[in-house]
């Protein structure tokens, strides 16, 4: 982003956010510099193969085997990811009371790792696993240890990283794969504690996010195409209440026609400058 465009963005954001805490909504674009791929290109078109739908995951043991084989190889890279300058800037802005709240579509916990508090994880967290049989919640690291013990043949396999801890793994690696079991009930229906495609956001989470949007003085969208309705509806609610809606995003968003301002900028570049200027 040219320096002149950075100056324009800062000249716009500074007066709007001075003494007026904004709600922030983040998407995959804020985490790409931390090594976690996003789902869509600059035109908002989904990359690669369609993601697994919740109906497929729940209805097919083969689908769950495919999911966990790919996730076994993808998890270490998610686990090793670290917050970048954009995550850190938002944590600073929140600590200085320039933000009224932080909502993320991401499942990587990088905001919490950067120091942000009370983050609403709209789509859950990959760091937790839920047993669909007994309701137990497990740590993802513990599940990973079992996966690697039972499927040591995959440890030397290279697979291309995909969004949300997935990988592009050739299907012939899946035939001998052993899915993880719940240590409490020995059930084999373990699911990452995230919202799959085709699944609804948890009602309590959705209501908390909507309440934040209704009370916000404005909404700043960072690194999201807003193609998921769970995020887009928050933008609509802010606009309905006559509050400013601004986006920092490289490419098209679903809310382009609703935005008051949009900056096609690197959030890693712009947000630290914003945090510095707001002080």
What is d(CA 129, CA 255) in angstroms, rounded to the nearest whole number? Answer: 32
The verdict on whether residue 116 carries a ligand-binding annotation is no
The verdict on whether residue 105 carries a ligand-binding annotation is yes
Q: Which residues pair with 222 in a beta bridge?
A: 26, 248
The verdict on whether residue 134 carries a ligand-binding annotation is yes
The DSSP bridge pattern shows strands 219-222 and 245-248 to be: parallel
The verdict on whether residue 182 carries a ligand-binding annotation is yes
The verdict on whether residue 200 carries a ligand-binding annotation is no
The verdict on whether residue 131 carries a ligand-binding annotation is yes
Instruction: Say whether 98 is catalytic.
Output: no
- The residues near 270 (Cβ < 8 Å, ≥ 6 apart) are 1, 6, 9, 10, 248, 263
The verdict on whether residue 198 carries a ligand-binding annotation is no
Q: Which of these is catalytic: 98, 111, 123, 127? A: 123
What is d(CA 230, CA 254) in angstroms, rounded to the nearest whole number? Answer: 12
The verdict on whether residue 242 carries a ligand-binding annotation is no
The verdict on whether residue 250 carries a ligand-binding annotation is yes
The verdict on whether residue 106 carries a ligand-binding annotation is yes
What is d(CA 133, CA 136) in angstroms, rounded to the nearest whole number? Answer: 8
Contact of 205 with 118, CB cutoff 8 Å = no
3-class DSSP assignment, residue 213: helix
The verdict on whether residue 230 carries a ligand-binding annotation is no
Q: In angstroms, how far is the first alpha carbon of the chain from the final one?
A: 23
DSSP state of 135: -
The verdict on whether residue 224 carries a ligand-binding annotation is yes
Contact of 108 with 126, CB cutoff 8 Å = yes
CA 178 to chain centroid: 28
Contact of 278 with 15, CB cutoff 8 Å = no
The verdict on whether residue 84 carries a ligand-binding annotation is no
- Residues tagged in the binding site annotation for NAD(+): 105-108, 223-225, 249-251, 267
- Residues tagged in the binding site annotation for Zn(2+): 131, 134, 182, 185
- Residues tagged in the binding site annotation: 105-108, 131, 134, 182, 185, 223-225, 249-251, 267
Catalytic residues: 123
């Amino acid at each position: 982003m040219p320096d002149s465009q950075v100056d324009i963005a800062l000249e716009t954001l500074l007066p709007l956010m001075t003494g007026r805490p904004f709600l922030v909504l983040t998407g995959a674009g804020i985490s790409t510099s931390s090594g976690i791929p996003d789902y869509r290109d600059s035109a908002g078109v989904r990359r690669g193969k369609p993601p697994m739908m919740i109906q497929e995951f729940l209805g097919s043991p083969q689908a769950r085997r495919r999911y966990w084989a790919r996730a076994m190889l993808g998890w270490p890279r998610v686990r090793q990811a670290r917050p970048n300058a954009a995550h850190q800037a938002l944590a600073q802005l929140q600590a200085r009371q320039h933000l009224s709240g932080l909502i993320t579509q991401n499942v990587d916990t990088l905001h919490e790792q950067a120091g942000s508090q009370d983050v609403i994880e709209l789509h859950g967290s990959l760091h937790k696993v839920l047993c669909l049989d007994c309701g137990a919640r497990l740590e993802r690291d513990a599940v990973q240890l079992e996966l690697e013990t039972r499927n040591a043949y995959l440890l030397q396999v290279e697979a291309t990283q995909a969004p949300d801890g997935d990988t592009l793994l050739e299907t012939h690696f899946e035939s001998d794969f052993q899915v993880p079991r719940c240590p409490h009930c020995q059930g084999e229906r373990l699911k990452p504690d995230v919202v799959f495609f085709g699944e609804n956001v948890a009602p309590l989470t959705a209501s908390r996010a909507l309440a934040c949007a209704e009370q916000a003085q404005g909404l700043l969208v960072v690194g999201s195409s807003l193609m998921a309705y769970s995020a887009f509806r928050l933008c609509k609610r802010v606009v309905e209440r006559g509050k400013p809606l601004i986006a920092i995003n490289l490419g098209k968003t679903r809310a382009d026609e609703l935005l008051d301002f949009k900056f096609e900028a690197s959030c890693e570049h712009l947000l630290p400058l914003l945090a510095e200027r707001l002080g």
